[in-house]
Amino acid sequence: MLRIRRVLEEKKLLNLIARSSRTRWMSSSTEVMSFGDGSHGALGLPTSLIGHGMDAYEPTPVTGLPSDITLVSAGHYHSLAVTSQGQLWAWGRNHEDQLGRGLLYSRDTWNEPKRVEGLDQVQVNAAFASGVVSAAIGDDGSLWVWGRSKRGQLGLGKGITEASVPSKVEALEGEKIAKVSFGWGHALALTVDGKLFGWGYLADGRLGKMDGLAEASPLDSSINVVKHEVITQSTMEVAERLVLERMKKEMDMPIVWDPCSVEELKGVEVVDIACGLDHSLVLCRDGTLLSSGSNIYGQLGRANHDIGLFPVDISFPASAIASGLGHSLAICQVKSSNGKGDATSIVSWGWNQSSQLGRPEPENVPMEVEGLAGETAILVSGGRAHSISVTSKGEVWVWGCGRNGRLGLGSSCDEPEPIMLDSLEGCQVLQAVSGFDHNLILIAR
């Protein structure tokens, strides 16, 4: 009887990842809106509306999508949307075949949402993406990937760096995948029963101490120099250039080509995962929040700088986690502003070059975003240098870098503290996610 109950619980959680939302609003239509950087076509907006490669400074409806979208996902420069019928649509950057439509389509059509080819026999429950890879989870828990990655992010076996059509990750056969999260070159997958698998680039222990390998990355080897340059020159472009320069020095670091169980967490039940560019967050059932990978911006949130998965120095119980390029976010139970009982708010730490933490220093210490006091956050997402959250009231709050309209406030101004996106006032917001420089909003109609 206990075994049967466990199986039923697993099936329930698997469906909950994507289709629980379906049951709430599949009887009504939905609409996807986007805003931010349009240079890669990730906004899905027609050139007749904003011009080729132009930005959108306010939430704008994505045309050409079905009216039954139940879930959206943002890669670094492309976007994905799942329908209630289990179909997957994609648009945006396609240099690495991450749209699943082949390379025959001209760049002028990347901004046009189209169905991903090769998934006709798969009932898609959820979708996730990195900069160069896309992934879909079938209703049977299977994982399908496509795109191009020299860092083994596809997880299709040694030396396999390209998949022009969705390909099943055979190494995870028999596992029921609930969620996948991608970094720059690494990936984590969470199963319905709480097991954690990792693959790809493992520098800095961003996958934990896998196969006994845990090497430091050039990104952190000169951390003091990086911090000094960023602080004194004070521009996001400088910070990004330094990261990219050190990425080039990482070419010979070890790669895990097939998904492997994360050794440190065997026997530990995991409930949520989030990958930043080169760090990882793992939330365990017992409330422990772990971090690993690069700590160049303090994104690990811990004084312990050992390589591997170790607890974040956080005093608030977390219920959900998210990562931007170099900053970390968690929805936590905090003390209410009136001192009576607990409240739900967002805690942030890590890179704060453009105020993406939504609060002042210190950056490397997890602290509450006080600008959201009194609000109950239910969703949070991080971009390259901005953050976005949805509250229980259905309101969308944004903060951080406003360049290219990525805050949706009608300007390019940065916002050091959370500010409500009032253009969506009155909308029933179901989901909000960030790519590097663009955002997707799912609303009910």
Residue 226 pLDDT > 50: no
- Taking all residues of the chain, what is their mean pLDDT, rounded to a whole number? 88
Of the candidate ranges 207-216, 352-361, 386-395, the one whose mean pLDDT is the lowest: 207-216
In a domain, 165, yes or no: yes
Answer yes or no: is 221 within a domain: no
User: Rounded distance, CA 432 to CA 106, Å?
Assistant: 29
Which pTM value belongs to this model? 0.88
Q: How far is CA 335 from CA 188, 238, 341, 389, in A?
A: 32, 38, 6, 19
Within the chain, what is the greatest distance between any pair of CA atoms? Answer: 64
Residue range 67-95: mean pLDDT, rounded:
97
Structural domain containing residue 153: 3-47+56-212+248-444
Element holding 238 (H helix, E strand): helix 236-248
Most trustworthy range by pLDDT among 19-33, 236-250, 363-377: 363-377
What is the residue whose two structure tokens read 């390019």?
412
- Number of structural domains (the chain) is 1
Is there a domain that residue 71 lies in? yes
Q: With 70 as the cut, is the pLDDT of residue 4 above it?
A: no
In a domain, 241, yes or no: no
Q: Is residue 233 part of a domain?
A: no
Q: Is the pLDDT of residue 33 over 80?
A: yes
Nearest to 429 by CA among 413, 418, 440, 416: 440
Domain membership flag for residue 184: yes
- The residues that bridge with 128 in the sheet, in sequence order, are 135
374, part of any domain: yes
Per-residue confidence band for 5, with pLDDT thresholds at 50, 70 and 90:
very low
3-class DSSP assignment, residue 254: coil
- φ and ψ at residue 255, rounded to 5 degrees: -130, 140
Asked if residue 188 is part of any domain, the answer here is yes
For the stretch 163-212, pLDDT in tens is 999 999 999 999 999 999 999 999 999 999 999 999 999 888 999 987 65
CATH of the domain at 399: 2.130.10.30
Is residue 328 very low, low, confident or very high in pLDDT (cuts 50, 70, 90)?
very high
* CB atoms closer than 10 angstroms to residue 300: 28
